[in-house]
Amino acid sequence: MLIPKFLTFSTLIALSIAPVQSFAQENGESLFEQKCSMCHLKQRPSAEEMKNMIAPPMMGVMRHVKQAKPDRAEAIAFIADYLEAPAQSKALCMPQSIARFGLMPSQKGNLTPEEAQTVAAYVYDTFGPRFNR
C-alpha cells in the first residue's frame, strides 16, 4: 500500500487509535448506564432528586477523586481498584457523604476488571472538573 508523503507516522497512529478511543468512550458510557446510573446521577441533582439519592452524583465523586489524584492514570487505577474493593480507608469523599450513603458496595462480580477500567476511564474523562489530564 502506498502512503502519501504528507501523512506522517504520528498522523497514521492518531487515525488508527481514534476509532478505538471512540469505542472505549461509547462502551464506558454504556457500562455506566447499565451498571452505575441506577445509583449515581450524571447531572447535578434537583431538589427533589436530592431527597431520593442513594449515592452521590458523579460530578461530586469525580471532583474529590481529581483533587486527590490529578494524574489520569493514577486516578483510573484508583477508581478501578475502589470499584472492586471499596474501603473507608480509601474513601475520598466527605465523612458526611459516607454517613448519608454508606460505603459503596463492591462491584466485584458485577464488573470484570476490564469493565472496571473502562468505566473508570469514562467517569474520569466525563465528570468533574478538568485538572491535569
Please write the tens of the pLDDT for every residue from 72-92.
999 999 999 999 999 999 999
Tell me 77's DSSP state.
H
Please write the tens of the pLDDT for every residue from 17-39.
444 444 455 799 999 999 999 99
Please name the residue that has the C-alpha cell 506522517.
8
Please name the residue that has the C-alpha cell 476509532.
19
Interatomic CA distance for residues 18 and 93, integer angstroms: 34
For position 106, what pLDDT does the model report?
A: 97
Instruction: With a cut of 50, say whether residue 49 has pLDDT above it.
Output: yes
Instruction: With a cut of 90, say whether residue 3 has pLDDT above it.
Output: no
- Under DSSP, is residue 69 helix (H, G, I), strand (E, B) or coil? coil
Domains defined for the chain, CATH in brackets = 24-126 (1.10.760.10)
Instruction: With a cut of 50, say whether residue 130 has pLDDT above it.
Output: yes
For position 113, what pLDDT does the model report?
A: 96
User: What average pLDDT score do residues 47-51 get?
Assistant: 88
Interatomic CA distance for residues 106 and 14, integer angstroms: 36
In this prediction, residue 44 has a pLDDT band, given cuts at 50, 70 and 90, of confident
User: Within 37-94, where are the H helices?
Assistant: 47-52, 58-68, 72-84
Please provide the average confidence, as pLDDT, over all residues in the chain. Answer: 84
